[in-house]
Structure 1
C-alpha cells in the first residue's frame, strides 16, 4: 500500500446570525439562531500510511411552591456494580445522547429509540418516565437492546419521559453513573439526562461537599441535582434555571419533573439539542435530527444557546440563561459524533463530510489507483475525495456491525481488540494497488497502528 501525504481539516468555523424564535416568553426570548457556514483552509499533516482527515475540537422570588413528597422509583440492572474503568486519560470525553418527550400516549417507544442514538454511547442506557406524578427509572450497563426488553417497558407507562445513552465524559462506566439520574426533594422530584462536560465540576463538587452534600456517583452531572437542592429560587422550575446558571462548560440537558419537560443548552452551544413535534402534538427533544426522523417527528428548530425550553400542559415556553455573544459549536459533531443523515448546528453532516473529502483531495493530491474508506464514519469523506480526484471509490475494508464504535469504548484494551474484530481488508480490491485510505479523523491513531503499523 503506497505511502500517502495527508492533510488536516483543522477547523470548521460555524458562524451565527440572529434569527428570532417564536415560543411564548416567560422572562425574555433568546433571539439568536446558529446557521453555520464557513469552511476554513487547513494546515498540512504528514502520516506514513494513512490519508486521513483530522480536526481540532472546539471546543425574583414568587410564593413558595407547595411542599411535595419525593416521588420516584428506580430499577437498576446489574446490581453487582459491573463496571469498566478508564485507562486512557487522553480520551476526548464529550459524547452522549439524550431524548425527551412530552404528551405522547406511548412515550417509551420514542424515548428508547433503538438504535437511533446508540452511536452516541454504548456503555449504558436509561429511561425515566412519569405516571401519576411518580418518576420511574430503569437504567443498565450496555447497549439499549441489552438494557431494555418489552417486560421492562411495560413497567414504564405515562406520557412524559426522558432517555439517555452513555459515553463517559466524567466518571467510570459503573452502573451508578448511568443516566438519567433521579432525585427526590421535599418540594418535588426531578430526573436529568446530560450530554457534555462540566469544566467547573471539581470546584462545584468541592463547594457542595464542604457544605454537607454527599455524592453517590463520580459523574459531573450529579452536581446539577445538588445545586437544585440548595437553590433558594422559587418555584421549582427556577431552581433548575438557578442551578444551570452556575455551570461552566458543555451541556445539553433534558429534565423531567412530575408535570414538566425541560430542555437546556449551554450559552456557548457546544453540543447539539433539537426540538421536534409528532403528528399527535407531542413535543420531542433529541441530540440529533436523525432521532426525530425515525420516530416520525418533524424538526422545528434547535434549542438555542443559553435557552431553557419548558413544556407542560400550558404549552411550550422559553426563557433564557446568559447567552454567549459568539457560539462555539464542537466541530467533532460534524466529523465523527453525528450520523450523516443528521442536521447539526444548521448544517447537513453528510455535506460537511463530503466537502472535507473534496478539500483534502485538493490540498493533498496523490497518484493512486483506488480510494477506500475506514467505515463507517469515513465513507462520505472518501466519496468526496474520490469524486474530486477522479479516482474510483471501492469498499476495501469490511466492517463487522457486531462490533461498536471503537473510539467510544472506555478502555484501550477493548478498543485494540475491537479494531481487530471490526475491520477486515478485501484483498481483491487492495492487492497490487496504490491505495488512498480516508478516515474521518485521527484522534489516538489507534486504527493507523492496528491496520497499517504506523
Structure 2
C-alpha cells in the first residue's frame, strides 16, 4: 500500500561526544518515516549550529558538514510534509534567537488549532518564516514572560492542541515531550560513551537505538516532559520528568499497521510480532485456500507470514520491490501512475502463472495502487487473485500528522465492499476487523488507541 505518507521522524541526543553523528545515524535508521527533507541542530554550550535541506539523509549530510555541527547535544528530523510546503524554509529543525538565547525545535505530528493560533500571533505582530505549524511554538515561547525556558515551553504547550512528539534544544539543555494522548511515538534510551560516561537518546522508533548501540529504557509518557541538563559533566543525572498534562493515552494504531519499521518497538510493543499476528487473525476471520500467499512488499510481509502460518497456504515472495526508485519527474497521467507501480513492484511470472494466489497488503486508501497491483499480477498470468488487507477499511482522514486524502477520496468511505472489489479487479476482497486488529495488539479492555481512520471517532479536529 503506497497511498499513506509516513509522517516524520525526530531524534534527540544528549551528552554524547559525537552527538551530530549519532543523530545522523538515527535519522538514517528512520528514513522510512520521511524522505522529503532532513536536518540536524547541535549545541556546544554557547551556540547552536544547524544544517538542513531537501532530500534523503545521505544527500543532505556528508562528513565535512557533520564536523561543523559541533557539540555534545543535538536534535534531528526527517520530514514528510503534513503542514508546510516543499521548500527549505519548511525543513526542520526550526531555529530562532530570542531573549533567553537560542532555540531549535523538531516536531512529529500535527497541531489541530495551528491556523487559529497562527492568525492570533500574526494579528499581534509576529512575522513567520515558514508554513510550518511548528513555528507557532517559537513565537509562543518568545512571547512568554516566564524567566525559565522550561516554563516558557509549558506555557506554549498549554496554547496548542493536537498531536506532537517534540524535542527542544537550547545551548545547554534538551527537552522532550509528548501530547497528553501520546498519539505519536517517542522512546527514551541510554548511550554509553567510549569514556564510560552516560548519554541519552530520544527517538520516534527504537530501530534508531539499535543502529547506534543505545539501550531502550522506556517510552516518554503521554503528557510528560523530560528535561536533560548538566551535559558538561561526566556523570549527568537521569532526565528530570515533569508531568505537563493529565495523560489520556490514545496512541495511533496505524503505527503498527504501516508506519513503523518491523524491527522497532513502538508504544512498548514489537512491531513485527504484531503484524504477524494481524496475518494470523486475518486467516482466522477469512478461511480460504489457494496455491500460495504473497505479500505486497515491504509492509505486507509480516502479515503474509502470519497468514501462511495459520492457514497452511505456502508463503512465497511473488512480488519483488525495487528499493532504489526515487521520485519520477513525469506528468501525473494515467500511464505515469501505472509506470510508477511497475517501477517499484515486479511480479515473478514463472512463480504465479496459472496459480490461485492470496495477496496480503496493509491497507487500501484510494484503491488506485491496489488496482495496478492486481493488474500486473493478472498480466503475469495469475489465474485467480484474492486481495486480503491486514487492517480494517480506511473510512476517515487523519488530522494528527498522517497525510491521508479527504474523505471523498477514500474509496472504502464511499463504496461498498463489492464496489471496491470490482474497482480494483480482484476475485475477492477481505479486510481484518477492528476487533481482530485489537486482538493482534493484545490490548487490554481499558487500553484505548486512536483509530479515527477506521471508525471516525476523533479526539480533536482542526480549528479554522
TM-score band, normalised by shorter chain: 0.7 to 0.9
Task: Give, in whole Å, the separation in 2 of the partners of 1:276 and 1:154.
Answer: 24
Aligned with 1:297 (options 211, 214, 223) = 214
- Structure-2 residue corresponding to 1:318: 241
- Structure-1 residue corresponding to 2:374: 452
- Structure-2 residue corresponding to 1:400: 322
Q: Tell me if structure 2 keeps the 8 A contact 1:94–1:195.
A: no
- 1:215/1:120 CA distance change after superposition, 3 Å: same
Task: Give, in whole Å, the separation in 2 of the partners of 1:108 and 1:260.
Answer: 15
- Structure-2 residue corresponding to 1:265: 178
Within 5 Å, give how 1:191-230 maps onto structure 2.
191-230=104-143
Runs of 4 or more, structure 1, over 3 Å off, are: 91-94, 411-418
Structure 2 spans left out of the alignment, 5+ residues = 231-235, 376-423, 425-464
Task: Give, in whole Å, the separation in 2 of the partners of 1:94 and 1:106.
Answer: 28
Task: Give, in whole Å, the separation in 2 of the partners of 1:391 and 1:405.
Answer: 36
Q: Tell me if structure 2 keeps the 8 A contact 1:119–1:405.
A: no
Aligned with 1:105 (options 17, 20, 33) = 17
Say which structure, 1 or 2, has more relative contact order (CA 8 Å, 6+ apart). Answer: 1
Whose helix proportion is higher, 1 or 2? Answer: 2
Within 5 Å, give how 1:338-417 maps onto structure 2.
338-403=260-325
- Structure-1 residue corresponding to 2:55: 142
Q: What SS does the aligned partner of 2:29 have?
A: coil
> Shift of the alpha carbon at 1:447?
2.1
Q: What SS does the aligned partner of 2:358 have?
A: strand
Task: Give, in whole Å, the separation in 1 of the partners of 2:280 and 2:56.
Answer: 35
Q: Encode CA deviations 1:144-196: one digit per residue, 9 max, x unaligned.
A: 01101111111112101000000111112211100011010022111000000
- Structure-1 residue corresponding to 2:358: 436
Of 105-114 and 258-267, deviating more is 105-114
Query: Normalising to structure 2: TM-score of the pair?
Result: 0.75
Q: Encode CA deviations 1:355-377: one digit per residue, 9 max, x unaligned.
A: 11011111122231000000011
Aligned length: 362
> Shift of the alpha carbon at 1:241?
1.5
Task: Give, in whole Å, the separation in 1 of the partners of 2:29 and 2:89.
Answer: 24
Q: Encode CA deviations 1:197-224: one digit per residue, 9 max, x unaligned.
A: 1001011111111111111111111111
CA RMSD of aligned residues (A): 2.1
- 1:405/1:119 CA distance change after superposition, 3 Å: farther
Within 5 Å, give how 1:2-151 maps onto structure 2.
95-113=7-25, 115-151=28-64
Q: What SS does the aligned partner of 2:28 have?
A: coil
> Shift of the alpha carbon at 1:244?
1.4
Q: Encode CA deviations 1:416-443: one digit per residue, 9 max, x unaligned.
A: 6542211001001110000000011222
Q: Tell me if structure 2 keeps the 8 A contact 1:123–1:141.
A: yes
The answer to whether 1:286 aligns with 2:222 is no
Task: Give, in whole Å, the separation in 2 of the partners of 1:318 and 1:183.
Answer: 25
Q: Tell me if structure 2 keeps the 8 A contact 1:275–1:284.
A: yes
Q: Tell me if structure 1 keeps the 8 A contact 2:6–2:33.
A: no
Query: Normalising to structure 1: TM-score of the pair?
Result: 0.76
Task: Give, in whole Å, the separation in 1 of the partners of 2:6 and 2:220.
Answer: 19
- Structure-2 residue corresponding to 1:328: 250
- 1:415/1:156 CA distance change after superposition, 3 Å: farther
Q: Tell me if structure 2 keeps the 8 A contact 1:403–1:418.
A: no
Q: What SS does the aligned partner of 2:86 have?
A: coil
Task: Give, in whole Å, the separation in 1 of the partners of 2:371 and 2:90.
Answer: 32
Q: Tell me if structure 2 keeps the 8 A contact 1:269–1:329.
A: yes
